[in-house]
Structure 1
Amino acid sequence: MVLKALVVGDMHGQLETVWKAVEEERPDLLICTGDWGDPGQIAPQEYQSLLERLTVHTVYGNHDDMELLKALRNRDGSPVLLPHGEFVEVQGFRIAGISGIWAKSHKKPYYITDEEVVAIAQKLAGKNVTILVTHGCPVGLADETPKGTHGGQRCFLDAFKIVNPKAHLCGHLHKPQLRQLKSGQFVLNVGTTALGDYAVLKISPENVSIVKRIAQSLGRSEVEVL
């Protein structure tokens, strides 16, 4: 069974591109790397409208209604928010997520420390996770900022190595980019869907491939068919 997945992130309350992509791409599944919007920016009814159309799995970032995401369920009863340390199985492939942004403390509810990221990853080790979703990015892998600096963290790189997924999806840095590795794995930063960025994947238990990337925030419409 091959599924078509739409990958979005960093909408910050603007879902126009999400709905347009859902209509145009007709995906089976929507995967979000977080930052749907701060509490109050997106009405619960709009989330429900999406859930009536397709299955949604997401992590939260630093601009999300965390309590609302925790309460949302897909039509099959599966959680919309990917639980830490567990995977969700979707027609033979496994998806797992680590929510939050890196910090040294818990001053904010969406902060997550190095130790916590690694502990979550260790629970997923050896579980044949197909796709790992995080809001933060692994340092050195698809973590370039719009200013050209590196904005990733070592803990998310450690998580990538420990979980060993076929694909690692991230966001937060608002710059679409792709890093393909010799191992056949890839790290995809979807960019910011608020400015039109998204990607389309084909997923099976054996393989994950990118069939399209739209990178409007780079100043052009870029479609990549692999």
Structure 2
Amino acid sequence: MRYVIDPPTLPSIPVIGREERFPVRRVFCIGRNYAEHAREMGASVDASAPMFFCKPADAVVTDGADLPYPQATVNLHHEVEMVVALKTGGRDLDAHQAAEAIFGYGVGLDLTRRDLQAIAKAKGHPWDVAKGFDHSAPVSALRMASEVSPGAETEISLQVNGTLRQCGHLGEMVHSVVDIIKTLSTLFELKPGDVIFTGTPAGVAALERGDRFHAELQDIATLDGKVA
């Protein structure tokens, strides 16, 4: 097929132990999936109504690339999250189908222009410009689900310049990975290549130019980078 302009490059994520990369179709995120984080943001959790938003696929940053400090903000926040990549999809999935859809796991940062988010919240506007900006989704290499099985005691953490900022366990999530996938499949037709950020524990704070970060999903994946 020929196009009137060059088509964009397909974003992709490395896979641990494989030469092939995981192609990214779409990036879904869930908000307020850890109660302590919701409280630190002055919000409450409605377990019956999970809150989702999206980032563009080309917001994904991989392979240890530096993160350029984004424009239009003076308050860039980190949110460390487990990332789940899907190998299959569908609509209205049951629990078994949701579990079987998982290709692998990684760790990433849901970067947020917090000042723009605060303005949007005050006005009742969408969060798109606060969440879906360029380079807002750094992600580690993926560990295949056939090799690991994250559990309730699996720790997720973030250090900035060697100081621990965030630390939690997956068992603290309000909505489990399977439940997130099931619910998303009632709102969208999920497809191979979809990536899901699963929420952040408490401790979110600002990143500054020159900061170095180390994110870790215990015994599964690590992500190191620098804010340029």
Q: TM-score, normalised by structure 1?
A: 0.28
Q: TM-score, normalised by structure 2?
A: 0.28
- Highest CA radius of gyration, 1 or 2? 2
Which has the larger strand fraction? 2
Which has the larger helix fraction? 1
